[in-house]
């Protein structure tokens, strides 16, 4: 329970960003998750990313489904509107919210049960529609709030805390997102903040459907030997393809890199994503290659992480719907109601 309010007084010397906010201004209430939960690290990474990007907290709408991961939006961006929706259905609520006001930043937080089981359908369709959002799955392969049942992302053959073996094939949400048309797809690990924070920043800047699968160990129910979502297992099998820098619009590029070690992908808004290659042959602008690579590594028992795919000119839902630039929720009666004269004309045609 969130009975513990955080102290409102901040240290006077805390660094401030361009908006005059400290990192603390991006926090929410105290987390009520288990000590050591991977999700809290992700919360920390979201806070850091938003602080460093000078995002006005109230311009972010944070939405979630149901489950441990879906509780986390309370723990960051306390000045943002949040919506804890129903199990597996956050994507539809986010889609409607985005349709109503295209000017806000939409952050959807979900879990593997929420997105890969009950919400698989909505997960698929929100990607297909290219809703402009950052969709983070905090993936621990297990149902935490209901105490340790396997989820649909648990690998076949992995062992539950009570010793049961998972007989079902796992769902890889990264592959699904790639196939379904997400235009920014990344995987990371809650234990690797250096990798995670830039990936979140890139996703927040991306003007289309951005998906992040963040493996986030559950210390209470899925951190034992035989689990493929434990801290130890992920550290051992993590195969990062690249490390990422996000370069804001019109920043001067000064550093020089050796040829072939860096891939730069210009974004639609003029900003730049720079990837320092760790896997020399990897091309993050090639969707088919990304799908193959992820599966090849999976067959070897490795988890490919990093920015796996980004499209430089994504289309989003509003492009498809051809909506006006003004957010729909700001249109006034004059713009919406055709009035009685038009109705009389309409009547004429019905006689």
Partner 1 sequence: MKRIESVNDFVIKFANVNGSGSASANTLFAKSIMRMGVPISPRNIFPSNIQGLPTWYEVRVSEQGWLGRRGGCDLMVAMNPQTWEPDVAEIEPGGYLFYDSTRPMPASRFRDDIHVIGMPLTEITNAAYSDPRQRQLFKNIIYVGALSALLEIDVPEIEKLIAEQYKGKEKLLEPNIKALHMGRDYALAHLPCPLGIRVRRGDRVGKKVFLEGNSAVALGCVYGGATFAAWYPITPSSSVAEAFAKHCRKFRVDPGTTKNRFAIVQAEDELASIGMVIGAAWNGARAFTCTSGPGISLMSEFIGLAYFAEIPAVIINVQRAGPSTGMPTRTQQADVLACAYASHGDTKHVLLFPEDPKECFEHAAVSFDLADRLQTPVFVLLDLDIGMNERLCEPLQWDDKRHYDRGKVRSYQDLEAGARFGRYLDVDGDGITYRTYPGTHPKRGAFFTRGTSRDRYARYTEDGKAYVDNMQRLLRKFETAKDLVPKPEHIDARKPSRFGVIFYGSTGPAMREALVELEAAAIDIDALRIRAFPFHEEVLEWANRHEHVFVVEQNRDAQLRTLLVAEGQLDPSKLTPVLHYDGTPITARFIQGEIAQRLGAFNVTPLKKTAASGGGGE
Binding site for partner 1 (CB under 8 A): 1-2, 29, 56-59, 61, 63, 73-74, 78-86, 89, 91-101, 103-104, 121-122, 124-125, 129, 317-318, 321-325, 328-329, 331, 333, 335-340, 342-344, 346-347, 350-351
Write down the least CB distance from residue 312 to partner 1, Å.
24
Distances (CA, A) of 159 to 53, 130, 141, 291: 40, 36, 11, 27
**Residue 255 or 348 having the CB closest to partner 1:** 348
Nearer to partner 1, 51 or 189 (CB): 51
Report in angstroms how near the CB of residue 341 gets to partner 1 at its nearest: 8
Based on the number of CB atoms within 10 Å of its own CB, is 218 exposed (0-12), middle (13-18) or buried (19 or more)?
Answer: buried
Smallest distance, partner 1 to C-beta of residue 196, A: 24
Least distance in Å: CB of 325 to partner 1?
7
User: Cα–Cα distances in Å, from 330 out to 38, 100, 335?
Assistant: 39, 9, 10
Question: CA–CA separation, 227 vs 235, rounded Å?
Answer: 13
Rounded to whole angstroms, the maximal C-alpha distance in the chain is: 77
Distance CA 28, CA 191 (A): 21
CB of 271 to partner 1, least distance (A): 22
Nearer to partner 1 (CB atom), residue 63 or residue 116: 63
Please tell me the distance from the alpha carbon of residue 169 to that of residue 259, in angstroms, as a whole number.
41
- Kind plus residue range of the DSSP H or E element containing 106: strand 105-111
């Amino acid at each position: 329970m969130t009975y513990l309010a955080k102290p409102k007084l901040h240290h006077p010397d805390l660094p401030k960003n361009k908006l005059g906010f400290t990192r603390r201004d991006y926090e929410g209430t105290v987390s009520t998750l288990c000590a050591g939960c991977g999700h809290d690290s992700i919360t920390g990474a979201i806070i850091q990313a938003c602080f460093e990007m000078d995002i006005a907290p109230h311009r972010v709408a944070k939405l979630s489904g149901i489950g441990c991961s879906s509780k986390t939006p309370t723990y960051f961006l306390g000045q943002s509107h949040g919506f804890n929706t129903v199990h597996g259905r956050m994507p539809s609520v986010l889609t409607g919210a985005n349709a109503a006001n295209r000017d806000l930043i939409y952050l959807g937080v979900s879990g593997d049960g929420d997105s890969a089981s009950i919400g698989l359908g909505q997960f698929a369709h929100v990607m297909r529609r290219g809703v402009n959002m950052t969709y983070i799955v905090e993936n621990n392969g297990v149902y935490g709030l209901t105490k340790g049942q396997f989820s649909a992302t648990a690998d076949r053959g992995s062992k539950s805390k009570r010793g049961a073996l998972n007989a079902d094939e796992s769902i890889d949400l990264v592959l699904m997102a790639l196939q379904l048309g997400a235009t920014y797809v990344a995987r990371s690990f809650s234990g690797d903040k250096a990798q995670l924070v830039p990936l979140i920043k890139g996703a927040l800047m991306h003007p289309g459907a951005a998906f992040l699968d963040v493996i986030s160990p559950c210390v209470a129910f899925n951190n034992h030997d035989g689990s493929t979502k434990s801290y130890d297992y992920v550290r051992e099998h993590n195969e990062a393809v690249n490390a990422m820098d996000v370069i804001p619009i019109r920043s001067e590029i000064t550093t020089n890199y050796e040829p072939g070690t860096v891939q730069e992908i210009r974004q639609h808004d003029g900003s730049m994503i720079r990837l320092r290659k760790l896997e020399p042959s990897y091309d993050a602008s090639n969707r088919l290659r990304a799908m193959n690579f992820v599966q090849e590594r999976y067959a070897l028992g490795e988890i490919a992480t990093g920015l796996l795919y980004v499209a430089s000119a994504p289309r989003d839902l509003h492009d498809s719907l051809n909506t006006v630039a003004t957010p729909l929720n700001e249109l006034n009666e004059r713009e919406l109601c055709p009035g009685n004269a038009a109705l009389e004309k309409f009547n004429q045609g019905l006689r």
